[in-house]
Amino acid sequence: MLLLDLDRGWGLLRAMAPETLLTLWALALLLDAAWHHRDSGAQRRAGWLALAGLALSAAATVWLWASGAAPAGLSTTIALDRFRYAVDLIVLVAAALAVLLSVEYLDREQLRIPEYHALLLLATVGMMLLAGGEDLFVLFLGLELMSVSVYVLAGLDRRSPASAEAALKYFLLGAFASAFLLYGIALLYGATGSTKLQIIARQIGPLGLLTHPMLLAGLALLLIGFGFKIAAVPFHMWTPDVYDGAPTPVTGFMATAVKAAAFAALIRVLLEAFSDVHALWGPVIWWLAAVTMVVGNLVALAQRSVKRMLAYSSIAHAGYLLTALVADSMAGAAAFLFYLLFYTLMTMGAFAILALKGRGGERDVMVDDLAGLGEAHPWLALAMAVCMLSLLGFPGTAGFIGKWYVLVAATGAGYPGLAAILVVTSVISAGYYLPVVMAMYMKPQAHERAHAGVLVPRIAGATLAVMVAALLVFGVWPNRVLDAARAGSHAFIPRAMTAAVTPLPPAGAP
């Protein structure tokens, strides 16, 4: 057990080792990129360096987890709990996948921009702050660091008007949402006198704030701000346009890591600071989840373009994740972590395969264009089929287990109605996932060279293979990951329960 005093520099530095290391690494990478910008292959080298940085940060995270670091007193800046580490690792994995799937893509699309990788790392730092922040300002800082980096990444392809439009739209609407969030933080500070989550939690009861309009308005504005980042309906309108316009690996990164980090922050805020007023925010999240699942799935049905379909699919999945959140329980947090990990893999995989099939932003790839892929590229089609079935929640894939645990958490917490909506909308989602599989295997190629342009480069191919294997293996053997997810959810043992648990005597005590 490692006790860290977060009020002193050295303790804080060690508690934030993963973030600190990654920031320094990103800055060094930026310098390197400035120096070698014109070199051919600079982009590739930057990619490998970024991977090394991510590995370093992951190692630091694992070290913190393994050393059992705990704060001396309240943790008021950054959390030292397994939920943070688990989300950190998921985000780092997502970033590493994005790097692996981008390296060859950027070469192919003639986007020789080494800074891409530095931006990716900085966005990741922001996400890690979101996962661990114990102070609303730390969370806001992380959110902005992440958002600004991603605005730039979305507009990376300067020759593409769609990419520029995506970046601008994302920025405008994102600024709008950030204002809501910031105003919410201000109101909460006004109501409770603090921006620190654990202190807010302790203030609500004694100050009699349970129905105080200032607190409630602040909470509402906070929900709206986060609702934008996780693309919950009705704050989702930007998503299809931005996802559609951004370069595909960036889209994959946005749909997984960005969403994961924003979700993690939302969960931390709600379960740590506002667990006592669950009766107030519970119904709001309930409705957000229901509307998000219904709208996301229904509108996805009407899409012909694969990229837009996947964009709406990721909206629908935000609804499933919100369902896990409504439960306001450890089971819900565990289901959330498990689902998040495999949602990341399957969504990233689907976007990566789309990137291999299309050209120039992949906006023009229709579902019917995949016809006959099963014959022309059997392995690629298999990978896509696994991703689609897993997104659908087909038994035998990790997506099924994830959905199952979300359902168990929701019904266990007494929300059978929401569970029913989840099941019904999942059935609807078969209406747009299965046509992809059907097109690949049951329709002939449009012409003989319909898939002639599809080349599977080595790195992307190997990465995809590992992802698909993980989806299948953990679909039938999920126990290890489930245990890890349960451990991660222990961060949110309800306070009433922690009080009841008496600490064990030290091992060496006579």
Partner 1 sequence: MTPLAGGIADWVGLAIALPFAGFLVNGLLAFVAPRRRALVGAVGVGSVVAAFLVGVAVFLALLAAHPAEPYVVTLWSWIPAGRLQVDAALQVDQLSVVMLLAVTGVSSLIHVFSLGYMGDDPGYARYFAYLNLFVAFMLVLVLGASFPVLFIGWEGVGLCSYLLIGFWFEEREKADAGLKAFLVNRIGDAGFLIAMFLIFKHLGSLDFQAVFAGAPTALAPGGATVTAIALFLFMGCVGKSAQIPLYVWLPDAMAGPTPVSALIHAATMVTAGVYLVARANVLFAMAPVASAVVAGVGALTALFAATIGLKQWDIKKVLAYSTVSQLGYMFVGVGVGAYAAGIFHLVTHAFFKALLFLGAGSVIHMMHRAYHHTGRHADAQDMRNMGGLAAYMPWTARAMWVATLAIAGIPPLSGFFSKDEILGAAFARGAAQPFYYVVWAFGLAAAFLTAIYMTRLMLYTFHGPNRTGEAERAHLGEAPGVMTWPVVTLAALALVGGALNLPHVGTLEHWLDPVTEASAAFLPALAPAPGVEIALMAAAALIGIGGIWLAFRALHPETLLPPERAPRETGFARLLLEKYRVDEAYRAVIVRPLVWVARNLLWRGLDAGVIDTAGVNGSAAVARGLGWLGSRLQSGQVTSYLVIFVLGAIAVLAALLHPSLSAVYHLWAR
Name the residues that contact partner 1, by CB under 8 A: 169, 172-173, 176-177, 180, 211-213, 216-217, 219-221, 223-224, 227-228, 233-235, 237-238, 240-241, 280-281, 283-284, 287-288, 295, 298-303, 428, 431
Identify the three-state secondary structure at position 196: strand
Which residues are bridge partners to 3 per DSSP? 70
To partner 1, the closest distance from the beta carbon of 346 in angstroms equals: 22
> Whose Cβ is closer to partner 1: residue 71's or residue 174's?
174
What minimum distance in Å lies between the beta carbon of 328 and partner 1?
Answer: 16
- Nearest Cα neighbor of 24 from 47, 56, 58, 62 is 56
Minimum CB distance to partner 1 smaller for 28 or for 280: 280
Long-range CB contacts (within 8 A, 24+) of 448-451: 450/369, 450/371, 450/372, 450/376, 451/357, 451/372, 451/373, 451/376, 451/377
Evaluated on CA atoms 76, 77, 80, 84, the torsion sign reads positive
How many of the other CB atoms lie within 10 Å of CB of 375?
A: 15
User: Which of 431/453 has CB closer to partner 1?
Assistant: 431
Q: Which is nearer to partner 1, 16 or 300 (CB)?
A: 300
Closest CB to partner 1 among 120 and 288?
288
3-class secondary structure, 71: strand
The whole-angstrom separation of Cα 350 and Cα 242 is 17
Q: Which is nearer to partner 1, 46 or 318 (CB)?
A: 318
Q: Supply the minimum distance, in Å, between the C-beta of residue 242 and partner 1.
A: 11
Residue number, 66 or 301, with CB nearest to partner 1? 301
Least distance from C-beta 211 to partner 1, angstroms?
4
| Least gap, CB of 155 to partner 1 (angstroms) | 15
Least distance (Å) between residue 221 CB and partner 1: 8
- The residue among 169, 126, 173 whose CA lies nearest residue 147 is 126
| Residue 431: CB minimum distance to partner 1, A | 7
Is there a contact between 476 and 400 (Cβ–Cβ < 8 Å)?
no
Contact present, 396 and 475 (Cβ < 8 Å)? yes
Residue closer to partner 1 (CB basis): 168 or 454: 168
| Closest among 133, 339, 113 to 247, alpha carbons compared | 113
In the complex, what is the shortest distance from the CB of residue 219 to partner 1, in angstroms, rounded to a whole number? 6
Compute the 3-state secondary structure of the chain and give helix, strand, coil in percent, each to the nearest 5.
Answer: 75, 0, 20
Mention every residue, 6+ apart, whose C-beta is less than 8 A from residue 302. none
Nearer to partner 1, 120 or 222 (CB): 222
List the alpha helices (DSSP H) in 327-397.
330-357, 373-376, 378-392
| Dist CA 461 CA 489 (whole Å) | 33
Closest distance to partner 1 from the beta carbon of 281 (Å): 7
Quick one: CA dihedral 149, 151, 157, 159, positive or negative? negative
CA distance readout (Å), 273 to 198, 206, 494: 6, 14, 11
Nearer to partner 1, 420 or 465 (CB): 420
Distance in Å, CB of 68 to partner 1, minimum = 37
Q: Give 228 or 474: the residue with its C-beta nearer to partner 1.
A: 228
CB of 434 to partner 1, least distance (A): 12
SS3 assignment, position 305: strand
Output 237 or 446, the one with its CB closest to partner 1: 237
Measured CA to CA, the distance from residue 417 to residue 440 in angstroms comes to 35
21 or 288: CB nearest partner 1: 288
The tokens for 219 are: 């909470």
Token pair for 127:
């996400």
- Give min distance, CB of 196 to partner 1, in A: 22
State the Cα–Cα distance between residues 354 and 147, nearest whole angstrom.
24
d(CA 389, CA 399): 8
- Report in angstroms how near the CB of residue 320 gets to partner 1 at its nearest: 18
